[in-house]
Each structure stands twice: as structure tokens, then as C-alpha cells.
Amino acid sequence: MKLIKALQNSKTLISLLIILSLWSCERDDICAATTATTPHLIIRFYNIDAITETKTVRRMNVTAEGNPKFIVNDKTTDSIILPLRVDALDILNTSRFVLTRDQDYATDSIASTVSNADIIEIKYTPELIYVSRACGYKSVFNDISARRETDSTNWIINIEVIKDTINNENAAHINIYH
């Protein structure tokens, strides 16, 4: 009988300890899913002939230069989201991306598709910003600049930096005209 009473008391004690330990967690011990983290670069594509109109890019593929893994794979879209590398803090960093699109054309009743790749280079200075004890730090990217490499068949006509600081993903940071 004493053993049964001791087991009941120990179960009650363990239950109370668990409840107290859960109650003692502070709200900031868990990083909320809605908390802003390191933002990505957002690029929107526009029509070069009507610069206020977005224009989709057909069957787009995007890779980081030197990395065969696709960031965007065979997608027809008017905007893309790209990750920026952080090599070092508070100094100029560079990310280069290969943007490839397919273009249909017809000659002598023969339809064909030709891929055209352009390379864009994004330069920026990353900075760490403290978010909270639970979430830690996030990177923001300052002093954004962008350019495209020129070749004989560029499909990207112009690049315009809209926001020179990337600290959220609320709107496009760069516009590309084609």
C-alpha cells in the first residue's frame, strides 16, 4: 500500500515539474514563423518597349555562376527570388547569376527554340542585424549595385536597382528590362 501511495505521489510530482517547466518558458525562447529572416533578392522583369508593363520570361533557368544546381528551373515568370551569398561582413561581396531563357523562332516553316544566357553581377555589403535571443541574427544587404555582362546576344537590355538596401521581401529590389 505504501508503494502505491509513493508511486502516485511521484507521478503527481513529475506532472507538476513538467507543467512548471513549460510555464517558465519565456515568449522569446521560440522564434515565431512570422519573424523576418535574411531576405532574398527580388527581381522583376519588364517590357523594354513599355517600361511600366511587366513581361514574362519564357522557360527561365537560373543558376549561380559556377554551380550547376538550379535556383529557378524551367519556369515562365515575371519575377524571381535569388539568394545572396555572404562571404564576409561589412565589405563588398559579389554574387553572379546565369539567367537563361528560351526563345521561339521560325524560319522556312521550321519552328525551333534557342536558349540565350546572360550573366548578371550583384555587388553588396552584408551587415548582421540582431533580431532576438531566439531568432539570432539576420543579414541585410547594403549598397546594392547590378550590371550585366555584355555579349553579342544579350536578351537583358537594361538593369535598374530600385532599392539599394535589401532588408525585407515586400517589393522588388531590381528591375530587368528585356
What tens digit of pLDDT does each residue of 94-124 get? 999 999 998 665 555 566 678 999 999 999 9
Beta strands in 33-135 (DSSP E): 41-47, 50-54, 57-64, 70-77, 79-82, 93-107, 110-132
Check pLDDT > 70 for residue 132. Answer: yes
Cβ proximity of 121 and 149 under 8 Å:
yes
> Whole-model pTM?
0.78
Q: Is the pLDDT of residue 72 over 90?
A: yes
Residues 60, 64, 70, 73, Cα dihedral to 10°: -10
Strands 136-148 and 158-161 turn out to be unpaired
